[in-house]
């Protein structure tokens, strides 16, 4: 039995999220179905990061086990079976006890906003035509790295035993006509990145100052955060694993 790992990209607007939800269209269901057809046996995959409806991924990872031997050509075959909104970028082998969720060292997300109306960015970034206090926006992003409890940015109903996360990077950057928020952490809570983005943008629009932003974090009350930013502006863009954990397939 070999454990294989797939790196996927997908358009989140086509799916009701990444994780299996019965018969609803999800990334994991599409992947399981395509693998089951390819391998001619039922296949169940396990994902590294759960993304909500509308959220895109440049690199999310799934692992599964099979006794069959896969090679580089299997990637071409699998992509032919998957919907156009999903692509297998790379395939790997891993140790039998490797787990894409629990062995991940960090995950990095990017949220994209733009001010000037652009029909080509619809459902790819958030149209946000408001004046922003950029120094305050930068200050709120930097402030997050001083905290480890992010209960204020976890949506109600999240099934988690702890709200503790370690944020490694948190900053805003200009990218052409866009303003983008980049955040990297060891783990994320349900709705956390959108909550971070929405709450920072409210501060930058003058709704409250930096001290109030700190109080929202310390309150551990999600009703004080703003989760309104749409999912389609959010991208899971990188997951890091221990060096040498993912092994290339033979050609």
The ranges assigned to domains in the chain are: 2-103, 108-235
Q: In which band, very low, low, confident or very high, does the pLDDT at 155 lie, cut at 50, 70 and 90?
A: confident
Q: Which CATH architecture has domain 108-235?
A: 2-Layer Sandwich (3.30)
pLDDT digits (tens, 9 = 90+) for 63-91: 999 999 999 899 999 999 999 999 999 99
Tell me what the pLDDT averaged over the chain comes to: 95
Residue 160 confidence (pLDDT): 79
Catalytic residue among 52, 97, 103, 211: 52
pLDDT digits (tens, 9 = 90+) for 184-213: 999 999 999 999 999 999 999 999 999 999
Residues 6+ apart with CB under 8 A from 144: 167, 170, 183, 196, 217
Residue 156 confidence (pLDDT): 76
Neighbours of 54 (CB within 10 A): 19
pLDDT digits (tens, 9 = 90+) for 30-58: 999 999 999 999 999 999 999 999 999 99
- CA 169 – CA 100 distance, rounded (Å): 21
Q: Is the pLDDT of residue 157 over 70?
A: no
Q: What is the DSSP string of 103-147?
A: T--EEEEEEEEESS--GGGTTTSEE--S---HHHHHHHHHHGGG-
Q: Is residue 52 annotated as part of the catalytic site, yes or no?
A: yes
- CA 238 – CA 234 distance, rounded (Å): 12
- Coil/strand/helix, residue 42: coil
Low-confidence winner among 19-23, 50-54, 101-105 (lowest mean pLDDT): 19-23
Residue 202 confidence (pLDDT): 97
Q: Is the pLDDT of residue 158 over 70?
A: no
93: its two tokens: 């082998």
- CA 51 – CA 12 distance, rounded (Å): 8
Biggest CA pair distance of the chain:
58
Specify the pTM. 0.95
Between 22 and 197, the higher pLDDT residue:
197
| Domains 2-103 and 108-235 are alike in CATH topology | yes
Mean per-residue pLDDT, 216-226: 96
At the top level of CATH, the class of 2-103 is alpha beta
């Amino acid at each position: 039995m070999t454990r294989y790992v797939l790196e996927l990209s997908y358009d989140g607007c086509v799916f009701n999220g990444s994780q299996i939800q019965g018969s609803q269209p999800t990334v994991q269901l599409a992947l399981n179905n395509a693998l089951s057809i390819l391998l001619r046996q039922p296949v169940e995959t396990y994902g590294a990061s759960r993304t909500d409806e509308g959220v895109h991924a440049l690199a999310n990872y799934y692992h599964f086990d099979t006794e069959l031997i896969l090679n580089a050509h299997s990637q071409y075959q699998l992509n032919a079976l998957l919907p156009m909104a999903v692509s297998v970028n790379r395939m790997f082998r891993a140790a039998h006890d490797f787990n894409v969720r629990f062995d991940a060292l960090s995950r990095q997300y990017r949220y994209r906003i733009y001010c000037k109306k652009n029909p080509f960015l619809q459902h790819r970034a958030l149209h946000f035509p408001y004046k922003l206090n950029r120094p305050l926006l930068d200050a709120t992003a930097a402030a997050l790295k001083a905290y480890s409890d992010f209960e204020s940015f976890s949506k109600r109903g999240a099934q988690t035993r702890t709200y503790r996360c370690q944020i490694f990077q948190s900053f805003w950057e200009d990218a052409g006509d866009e303003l983008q928020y980049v955040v990297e952490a060891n783990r994320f809570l349900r709705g956390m990145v959108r909550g971070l983005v929405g709450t920072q943008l409210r501060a930058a629009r003058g709704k409250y100052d930096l001290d109030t932003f700190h109080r929202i974090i310390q309150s551990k009350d999600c009703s004080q955060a703003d989760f309104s930013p749409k999912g389609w502006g959010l991208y899971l863009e990188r997951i890091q694993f221990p060096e040498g954990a993912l092994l290339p397939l033979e050609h």
